[in-house]
Amino acid sequence: MSRNQIRRTNQVGGTQLVRFLLGAGLATSLVIAFALLHVSNIRAAGELKKLEMARARQEEVLKSARLQAEKLRSPRNLTERAEQMNLGLVSVSQLEIYEAPTRKAWQATDLAKEESR
């Protein structure tokens, strides 16, 4: 075998090896990218599940708060709470209205007396 034939043989084998290594590297990088995307997808699904559970809890709290607000705004409850919170004050409707005595008109002499004091 001549030297040129040996060189051609080595070059062909080297080219095939390089092609194989490039193909293997590309396949490996694709598998790694797929695995990383799969893992991130699993993490996102777990995070989504947590957020859905938190939202369901908040909706339950909101529902109970609305129900409680409706109970607190009912006229019956308001009158009961007003009776409980009565501090012995008299309502305006229970007061007797007295007519105030009329005042004398001020005169100049009255003003002079006030100034002298």
3-state secondary structure of 62: helix
pLDDT band at 74 (very low <50, low <70, confident <90, very high): confident
Q: Compute the average pLDDT of residues 88-94.
A: 58
Domain that holds residue 40: 3-84
3-state secondary structure of 31: helix
71 occurs within a structural domain? yes
What is the length of the chain?
117
pLDDT digits over 10-21, tens only?
555 567 888 899
78 occurs within a structural domain? yes
pLDDT computed for residue 71 by the predictor: 85
99 occurs within a structural domain? no
97 occurs within a structural domain? no
The string of DSSP codes covering 44-107 is HHHHHHHHHHHHHHHHHHHHHHHHHHHHHHSHHHHHHHHHHT--SPPPGGGSPP-PPPPPPPP-
